[in-house]
Each structure stands twice: as C-alpha cells, then as structure tokens.
Structure 1
Amino acid sequence: MKLKPNKREQIFPLPVALISTISNQGVRNAAPWSNITPILRPLDEVLLASWLKRDTLTNIRETGEFVINIPPVGMEEVVMVCSRNYPPEVDEFEMAGLKPRLSEKVKAPGIEGCLAWAECTLIEEILREKFSLIIGKVVNLEVDENFFLMKKAGWISKKSKTSVLHSWSRGPYIYLPQRHRKIGRLF
C-alpha cells in the first residue's frame, strides 16, 4: 500500500510535549508540540519544527530559552486547553491551571505534574518559507523520581507504569497509547 509522503504521521508515532516559554514581558506560554526529536545520541541537542506564526517561536527567538515538558496520560485536558489559540498577552499557565516548576538554568518555567523536563537554550534557527527548525541545547534534564529510578551506568527505568500522550495515526489529535482512544483535536 502506498501513502502520500505527507501522511508520514501514519507510521511515525509522535509523543506530545508541552513547550513552555516566557516572553520578554514576562507572559508565560505553554503549547503542545509533537515535532520534537533528539539529535543523534549522545549529543545534547534537540530539534523542533514550528509554523512561523506561533507565540512559542516568538518567545524562543526573543529569549533564546524554552523547556520541553513531557506530560503523562492524565494531563489530556490541560494539553487541550494549551492547544487553543490565545493572544500573546494571555498567560497560558493561568488559563490551563498549570503550576509552574522553577527551572535551574533557564528563566522559562517547567510544568509541575510532568514526567520529565528538558531546559534548553537556542543554538540555531533554520528558517524556511513556511516553517522554522529550532536547534536547542539541553542545559538541564530532570525526571520525576516518582516515576523513574536511576540504575547503574546512568540508565533510568520506570518505577511504575508511565505513558506519554501521542499525536498519531489520524491527524493532530491526542491518543492514549494503550487504548488508542482519540480524545480531542490539538490544533
């Protein structure tokens, strides 16, 4: 069976993350993101793709910082609130009822209740006609000790069943991994 090349999300599961940023005016932003990938192990860089008209992209350009937050299953409703298109002056942490988590290396807050937090600084932006690729350096990486256990040689394992949200298979929706139940449109 052949698929159109733009149907690649049919075969590539995309974990949903919440990118948190803060504007130069101090307004907090949180937006769901699926187009994120680490760049080659063992490098400490990540790549994210963004449409050009996004408050998150504007904040990253202005401040050079962002946090990748990995929400667990159970935060679907919060992610859906963050997917709404708010004006830049609206604090999305307040709108979604998010509790900020103090970051160690960047000014942008993380989001409490997530499984992991990657604090990042902007290394490079590759601007294309309709989108931008952001290369960020992970300057601090933490996981919630309630869900993960450190093993020898720096490997981590799950203490309990954890599951992340995915945008997979049928467009920009959140899917619960075990049940593959569509719960709502992201964008």
Structure 2
Amino acid sequence: MEFDFTELEPQSRYRLLTNFIGPRPIALVTTRSAAGHNNAAPMSFFNVFSHDPPLVVLGIQPQSSGEEKDTMVNIRRTGEFAINMVDMTLSQQMLVCGLGFDNEVDELSMAGLTAKSCAKIDASYAAQSPCVFECRVERLIDYPRRTLVIGEVVHMHVHRECLDAEGRYVDHERYQPIARLHADNYITSDRQFELSAPPIADFIKPQDK
C-alpha cells in the first residue's frame, strides 16, 4: 500500500507514524506551575538528538480544545523542565500522571511519587525514576498542532545501581526503560542482545596486482 502524506488527514498520519516508528522512549516531563505545584505528564514524542550540545526534543500537542497543555504553558513561562525516564516500576504511576488533572493538582503526589528538588532548575523530579535529565529550553518551534521543545540538558541524576562498577556505562540488567509502540501497547528492554558489525575487509575485494 502507498500513503500520500500530502493528502492524508492528520489522524491517519498519526496512526501510521506512531504504529510504525517505535518503540519510542517515554519522557515523564515535570515542570513547575505558576502557583508552585508540581506538574507531571508523560510524552512519547521524545528523543535525544545531540550530545554536543546535549539536546533532547519533545513534541507536545495542544489539548483537544485547542488550549495548550499545562506542561507547555509551564515550559513557556519558566524555560525549564525535567525528563524522568520510566521503567516498569514507574509504569502505573506514569499512566496516573497522564490522566489530565486540573492544573492545581500535584501529579507527582497523586501518583504516589516522591518529589525531589532539581539541582539547577526550578522544578521537582520523581525520586523513583532511574535517571532524570534537567533541561533548559534551547528553542521552541511552533506548528499549528504541535510545538517542538528543544531542551539542553544541564544536569543528570542516575541511580547508582543503574551503572556498571566504574560508573561509566549503563547496567542493562538494572536499567530497563519501557517504551511505547502504539495505542496502549508498550515494550520493555529486558530482552537485550549484542550485534557486532563484521570487518569491512570482508566486503572489499583485494585489488588485482
């Protein structure tokens, strides 16, 4: 089948993109409301895009009413947000944070998560998250139905047990984030395997002498 995205309606584009591009990591994004409450919302339009500078990108769409979500309102006002990575132990709490409470509700508290103050930004993060990225907005790119939030990572919190003995690389048996496939389908990273590329010499014919 062929799909002409220049002619396709938005909901069909969403279905095709999110069904076939996956798994997508989940960012539980925490921000501070104007009244000082903790806001937390899961986003699956998220990934890392650069290490130098260290940049992550979120894609945040408005509510069905057309109004901006609390997360986007807070990010515009403060220019700061934290990304809490989600593993199986946080999966249900992540869903609670996405229920769409009123903006004065503290989603971290509602989900039973422990709020800790960030080191470099005015926001809280979930202490239970295996790793957290504190971010400042590098730029916002606005489209009619979505805003791309490019954030620069300024600080990172990692549970010690998620790293190897030297504290340099992730311990894949301990750090197993979940990711979204489509609709209510998710995947966990507990089944990992190594792939090593063959030497390029195996594919290059020796020159005739």
TM-score above 0.5: yes
2:53 partner letter = L
Q: Residue 184 of structure 1 corresponds to which residue in structure 2?
A: none
Residues of 2 paired with 1:51 and 1:85: CA distance?
Answer: 14
User: Which of 120, 124, 131 is 1:109 aligned to?
Assistant: 124
User: Which of 150, 164, 179 is 1:166 aligned to?
Assistant: 179
TM-score of the aligned structures, taking structure 1 as reference length: 0.84
1:13-162 to structure 2, matched below 5 A, reads 13-52=23-62, 53-149=68-164, 151=166, 155-158=168-171, 160-162=173-175
Report the alpha carbon displacement of residue 34 of structure 1 after superposing the two structures with TM.
1.0
Residues of 2 paired with 1:84 and 1:139: CA distance?
Answer: 29
Report the alpha carbon displacement of residue 76 of structure 1 after superposing the two structures with TM.
1.5
Q: Which runs of 4+ in 1 moved over 4 A?
A: 1-5
- Do the aligned partners of residues 3 and 101 (structure 1) sit closer, same or farther apart at CA in structure 2, a change above 3 Å counting? farther
User: Which of 172, 188, 202 is 1:177 aligned to?
Assistant: 188
- Do the aligned partners of residues 20 and 150 (structure 1) sit closer, same or farther apart at CA in structure 2, a change above 3 Å counting? farther
Count residues with an aligned counterpart.
Answer: 176
Residues of 2 paired with 1:71 and 1:178: CA distance?
Answer: 11
1:89 partner letter = E
Asked if the contact 1:165–1:174 (Cα under 8 Å) also holds between the matched residues in 2, the reply is no
Q: Residue 17 of structure 2 corresponds to which residue in structure 1?
A: 8
Q: Any unmatched runs of 5+ in structure 1?
A: 181-187
Report the alpha carbon displacement of residue 8 of structure 1 after superposing the two structures with TM.
2.4
- Do the aligned partners of residues 3 and 74 (structure 1) sit closer, same or farther apart at CA in structure 2, a change above 3 Å counting? farther
Aligned with 2:94: secondary structure? helix
Residues of 2 paired with 1:130 and 1:121: CA distance?
Answer: 22
Which structure has more strand as a fraction of its residues?
A: 1
- For residues 43-77 of structure 1, give each alpha carbon's deviation from its aligned partner in whole angstroms, at most 9, with x where no partner exists: 21111110132110101111111000012112221
CA RMSD of aligned residues (A): 2.3
- Do the aligned partners of residues 8 and 155 (structure 1) sit closer, same or farther apart at CA in structure 2, a change above 3 Å counting? farther
Q: Percent identity?
A: 28
- Do the aligned partners of residues 65 and 2 (structure 1) sit closer, same or farther apart at CA in structure 2, a change above 3 Å counting? same
Larger Rg: 2
- Do the aligned partners of residues 158 and 138 (structure 1) sit closer, same or farther apart at CA in structure 2, a change above 3 Å counting? same
- Do the aligned partners of residues 158 and 4 (structure 1) sit closer, same or farther apart at CA in structure 2, a change above 3 Å counting? farther
1:58 partner letter = V
Asked if the contact 1:103–1:119 (Cα under 8 Å) also holds between the matched residues in 2, the reply is yes
1:163 partner letter = Q
Higher relative contact order (CA 8 A, sep 6+): 1
- Do the aligned partners of residues 179 and 157 (structure 1) sit closer, same or farther apart at CA in structure 2, a change above 3 Å counting? closer
- For residues 73-111 of structure 1, give each alpha carbon's deviation from its aligned partner in whole angstroms, at most 9, with x where no partner exists: 122210111110111111112211110122110110111
